[in-house]
Structure 1
């Protein structure tokens, strides 16, 4: 394992594609298509020029893994910018498209909610999504020593961050404890206030199911969460802040709550697709450059993952610095636990 304090040297990033069956899903809606981003090593030979396939850089192997669960009806390509940045930081990042049945009966892509696991009596007995377990199964095959992939023998599947956006972040918070190798959890625009239609009492906050440190991130202007308040019984004014304050077990200062100034619900995505998802609920902002938000957001997420997946002393020190120049202009650390 690489525990050097030296900052990563960004190099080329390559990705590979795969597909995996998701247990419990009904055909044909039972297959997730995943993309795995990794730090690559250029070799400047005929194979590279012919196939554009590069081997994983051996210098950082075996690589910890960050699994990114998407929001509902947000395609995995919207997170390519973040996956690429994490790979430049010396991590392997995984995204996926999983088309299934959404609440209400429509079809769409998302993180794969298991409805029976989120109702009273069902919650807390296992993961609320089968998707990350399926992705881990695919990664074990990809990393097998006898596989024909560039990542054969190059993944550390005992050091995984489970991350997610919106519903994906909620399911990450609810599922991490039931999955092997989870050492960190990252959630953007997510909370643990369940919908009233599921039968929970007013103002319920579900407990998170994670034994790993959590980085919970909120956009300062999250119009999607605000516009969704009528789904929940009760009057909690800020479900994300309430989740941080009440749903996480103590982690001796390792949990972090961060607020991204000027950011909305979709600041973590790089997509102008207005034909799906719930972007129409966001108030257009002309005073904020999305790229200016994404860079410090990626720096924070990458540093958190390096600190907890690679035991990186430099990254840990940056997390606890009063003001890190990589993100403090746009990200406010609002709490620790």
Structure 2
């Protein structure tokens, strides 16, 4: 069994205003016990399992006001597959005067004049800098494959991930996945109601959504209309994507809500009050999310052909939790 351990790191964000200029990272990695019992027991310093290195790296971008702790369950499951996973907390101003946890959303890149010309993931350059440091010294030195960085996210974090997943922006990025995220355009920025913006077309992408996503359903006025279904903007984002390589996926989960990917859920902050109740067992939903993401990475980053077949079979083997899957 893989031992999952984590270390902490902090990094400054260039150009961010004090005191909102520091990101705190938690980096999860596969470990194995050292013969140095004193180091293991008194300092908690357990070496990485270098037999599995070099490790592809997953960076998880949370939703607004969602603590990184809510994604630790997913980080753990992905580390058990031989990946290194980064979660992070960044307290900053999401909007002027509104301080909270943010995945890092560069609003200036989202207007009709600027969209697609620069990445919206404002935290990512600092996170990549921190990974360079971790690959230079410490328990992960020389063990990270920083040419295989997978971007993953939830809600607003998922949006900035799929908008920024381009080698033109970040040559290290090789794939992206998002839960409860879409690219519907905010009408206050000058877009027509119902506009769906394109995403870069160079990398494999998986979109996952839940049919009971109350946050998407109850936030549709931001986009100038009422969605037919909670998953409509996710499906339309997928439809907008270029196809032809069979590495772009849409997975809709029956009975899953917006915060199905967050566990435990902190109901004292964020928009959980907008969500609908899940109608399927939440543990079963999380298992399916983790399995789908893991197979996606195995298939399109690690190039394991059997994982592509396993991913295609995922829905039929997990009904009724899984509702629909498409690939193009």
Task: Give 1:313 shift.
Answer: 2.6
Is 1:21 equivalent to 2:21 in the alignment? no
Please state if 1:123 is matched with 2:115.
yes
Give the CA deviation at 1:189.
Answer: 0.3
1:164 aligns with 2:153: yes
Q: Distance in 2 between matches of 1:222 and 1:50?
A: 45
* Comparing 204-213 and 190-199, the one that deviates more: 204-213
Runs of 5+ unmatched residues, structure 2: none
Q: CA-atom RMSD, angstroms?
A: 1.6
**CA positional deviation for 1:235:** 5.3
CA drift at 1:251: 4.2
- Choose between structure 1 and 2 for higher RCO, CA contacts under 8 A separated by at least 6 residues: 1
| 1:256 CA drift (Å) | 0.7
Instruction: Assess, with a 3 A threshold, how the Cα gap between structure 1 residues 272 and 163 changes in structure 2: closer, same or farther.
Output: closer
Query: Which deviates further from its counterpart, 82-91 or 269-278?
Result: 269-278
**1:120 deviation in Å?**
1.5
- For 1:54, the equivalent position in structure 2 comes to 46
Aligned match for 1:330, one of 296, 307, 321 = 321
Q: C-alpha offsets along residues 126-163 of structure 1, whole Å, 9 cap, x if unaligned? A: 1112211211110011011xx1x110000001111111
Q: Structure 1 unaligned runs (5+)? A: 1-9
Contact persistence 1:14–1:53 (CA under 8 A): no
- C-alpha deviation, 1:115, in angstroms: 1.6
**What are the residue-to-residue correspondences of 1:201-280 with 2, within 5 Å?**
201-234=192-225, 237=228, 238-246=232-240, 248-280=241-273
Superposition TM-score, scaled by structure 2 size? 0.94
Task: Find out whether 1:31 has 2:28 as its counterpart.
Answer: no
Partner of 1:5: none
Please give the TM-score of this superposition, normalised by the length of structure 1: 0.91
Runs of 4+ in 1 over 6 A off after TM superposition: none
Q: Tell me if the contact between 2:179 and 2:207 (Cα under 8 Å) persists in the aligned partners.
A: yes
Matches of 2:201 and 2:21 in 1, distance apart?
26
